[in-house]
């Protein structure tokens, strides 16, 4: 963990140095306004300073938890709490739920100052935050209520599977995670997201007609087209799609509509998103995630039977939730390699989606929308290549514009 922290801090320092550069990259001169560059530079430098603090606190707290054996102490105390309220301390499900409740309270309390400062100081100072303190705590309360509703049955099912199924627990646990992922992908946009955002149908007009015409030309089974009130919380913009089979829906943030200069730029963003669908990127990522989940569960089952590992962390029993936590710590380097590989694939998919939008005739519009969203979201203009290779899920603006331009030349020569 400490070695990974040192490595990632080194990358953060490289990126911080890149952010301090006083001039735009040559390829963005005349493309990005100087005013937006200065605003972006100030915003990203402040976020970079804040990230250094957050990462330092995180590694200090996690190291202290392990070094001073806080986990076994907390597990023991949560068992005493179960016994105190008149329930059976030996019941692992009840014990685990009490432990998780304590962990959730701890995380909410310790993360609260950082969240408040990030949203109501940094984001507000740079013109992004739009939410009130009441809305912030309302969202927090809704999130806690959802956890209280969803976590107990999931945890109970997982513990029962491990205890009852023995050697086949890997397969059954994987089936559980797979079904849960499908269920969450189905119910989140329909039942959960509306608790936090208001979704309204995109009004009739040229924009709606253009999006529906584009979807129809690609045989995309568009059923509903929504606008979400993202501006209620932030000025950042986005667009996404969801749904299975012939029940697809597209969601536009109202900030995206406000920031783009014309309908063509918005449609170009949708064309990019449809490129992900047409190239089956979502399916590939779902398959990759399920393979990783199966490997993760398989590795966990090995740890669960390793008594000496539990003892080295200060435990004399082998609770399922503790095995998961220990395994999480143990595979930190492997997780970072998977994270790195995933970002490589994600960036390749972004290039393909851009090329797809360009092929549909939106080359100039996708360029314009990329530049405009880069400016409006105050994204980093100068990016260290090492930092980008490790952290970024999307290519930089310079790289994306260059790729679209290269596609132009290739088509002309063809």
408 is catalytic: no
CB within 8 A of 391, min separation 6: which ones?
A: 11, 343
* CA dist., res. 395 & res. 236, Å (int): 19
With the CA atoms of 400, 404, 410 and 411 taken in that order, what torsion angle do they form, in degrees rounded to the nearest 10? 160
pLDDT (0 to 100) of residue 168: 77
DSSP 200-230: EEPPSSHHHHHHHHHHHHTT--EEEEEEE-G
Site of tokens 């560059």: 37
The one catalytic residue in 354, 375, 384, 399 is 354
pLDDT (0 to 100) of residue 165: 65
Residue 246 structure tokens? 């012939």
38 is catalytic: no
Contact indicator for 400, 350 with CB cutoff of 8 Å: yes
The one catalytic residue in 123, 264, 273, 399 is 273
Q: Where are the beta strands (DSSP E) in 232-312?
A: 239-242, 248-253
Residue 186, H or E segment: helix 169-187
Q: At what angle do helices 363-376 and 332-357 cross, to 10 degrees?
A: 130
Contact indicator for 106, 77 with CB cutoff of 8 Å: no
The tens place of each residue's pLDDT in the chain, 414 residues long, gives: 899 999 999 999 999 999 999 999 998 988 899 999 999 999 999 999 999 999 999 999 999 999 999 999 999 999 999 888 777 778 899 999 999 999 999 999 999 999 999 999 999 999 999 999 999 999 999 999 999 999 999 999 988 888 876 667 888 889 999 999 888 888 888 888 899 989 999 999 999 999 999 999 999 998 889 999 988 888 888 888 887 777 788 999 999 898 888 899 999 999 999 999 999 999 999 999 999 999 988 888 878 878 888 888 888 888 889 988 888 888 888 989 999 999 999 999 999 999 999 999 999 999 999 999 999 999 999 999 999 999 999 999 999 999 998 544 444 443
Binding residues: 272, 276, 350
Edge to edge, the sheet with strand 199-201 lists 199-201, 222-228, 248-253, 239-242
CB within 8 A of 386, min separation 6: which ones?
A: 11, 14
Contact indicator for 332, 66 with CB cutoff of 8 Å: no
Contact indicator for 190, 213 with CB cutoff of 8 Å: no
pLDDT (0 to 100) of residue 85: 78
Q: Could you tell me which of 76, 72, 69, 68 has the C-alpha nearest to residue 98?
A: 76
Rounded to whole angstroms, the maximal C-alpha distance in the chain is: 79
Contact indicator for 75, 99 with CB cutoff of 8 Å: yes
Contact indicator for 84, 95 with CB cutoff of 8 Å: no
Binding residues for Zn(2+): 272, 276, 350
pLDDT (0 to 100) of residue 307: 85
* CA dist., res. 136 & res. 253, Å (int): 19
CB within 8 A of 25, min separation 6: which ones?
A: 381, 382, 398
| Burial state string for 161-195 with b = 16 or more CB within 10 A and e = fewer than 16 | bbeeeeeebbebbbebbeeeeeeeeeeebeeeeee
């Amino acid at each position: 963990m400490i070695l990974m922290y040192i490595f990632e801090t080194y990358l953060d320092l490289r990126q911080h140095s890149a952010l301090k550069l006083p001039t735009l990259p040559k390829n963005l001169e005349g493309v990005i306004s100087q005013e937006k560059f200065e605003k972006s530079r100030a915003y990203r430098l402040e976020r970079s300073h804040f990230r250094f603090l957050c990462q330092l606190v995180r590694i200090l707290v996690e190291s202290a938890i392990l070094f001073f054996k806080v986990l076994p102490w907390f597990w023991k105390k949560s068992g005493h709490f179960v016994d105190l309220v008149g329930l059976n301390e030996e019941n692992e499900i009840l014990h685990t739920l009490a432990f998780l409740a304590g962990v959730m309270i701890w995380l909410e309390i310790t993360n609260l100052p950082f969240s408040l400062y990030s949203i109501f100081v940094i984001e507000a100072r740079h013109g992004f935050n739009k939410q009130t303190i009441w809305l912030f705590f309302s969202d927090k309360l809704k999130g806690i209520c959802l956890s209280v509703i969803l976590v107990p049955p999931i945890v109970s099912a997982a513990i029962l599977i491990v205890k009852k199924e023995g050697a086949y627990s890997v397969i059954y646990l994987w089936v559980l995670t797979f079904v849960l992922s499908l269920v969450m992908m189905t119910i989140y946009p329909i039942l959960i997201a509306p608790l936090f955002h208001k979704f309204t149908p995109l009004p009739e007009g040229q924009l709606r007609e253009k999006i529906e015409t584009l979807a129809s030309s690609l045989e995309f089974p568009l059923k509903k087209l929504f606008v979400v009130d993202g501006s209620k919380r932030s000025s950042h913009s986005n667009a996404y799609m969801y749904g299975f089979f012939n029940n697809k829906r597209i969601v536009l943030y109202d900030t995206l509509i406000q920031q783009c200069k014309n309908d063509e730029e918005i449609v170009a963003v949708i064309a990019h998103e449809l490129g992900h669908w047409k190239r089956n990127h979502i399916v590939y990522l779902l398959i990759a995630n399920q393979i990783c989940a199966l490997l993760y569960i398989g590795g966990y089952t090995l740890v669960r039977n390793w008594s000496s590992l539990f003892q080295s962390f200060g435990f004399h029993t082998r609770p399922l939730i503790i095995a998961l936590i220990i395994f999480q710590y143990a595979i930190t380097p492997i997780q970072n390699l998977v994270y790195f590989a995933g970002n490589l694939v994600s960036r390749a998919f972004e290039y393909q989606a851009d090329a797809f939008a360009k092929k549909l005739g939106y080359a100039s519009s996708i360029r314009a929308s990329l530049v405009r969203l880069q400016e409006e979201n105050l994204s980093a203009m100068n990016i260290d290549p090492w930092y980008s290779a490790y952290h970024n899920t999307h290519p930089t603006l310079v790289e994306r514009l260059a790729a679209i331009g290269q596609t132009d030349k290739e088509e002309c020569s063809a």
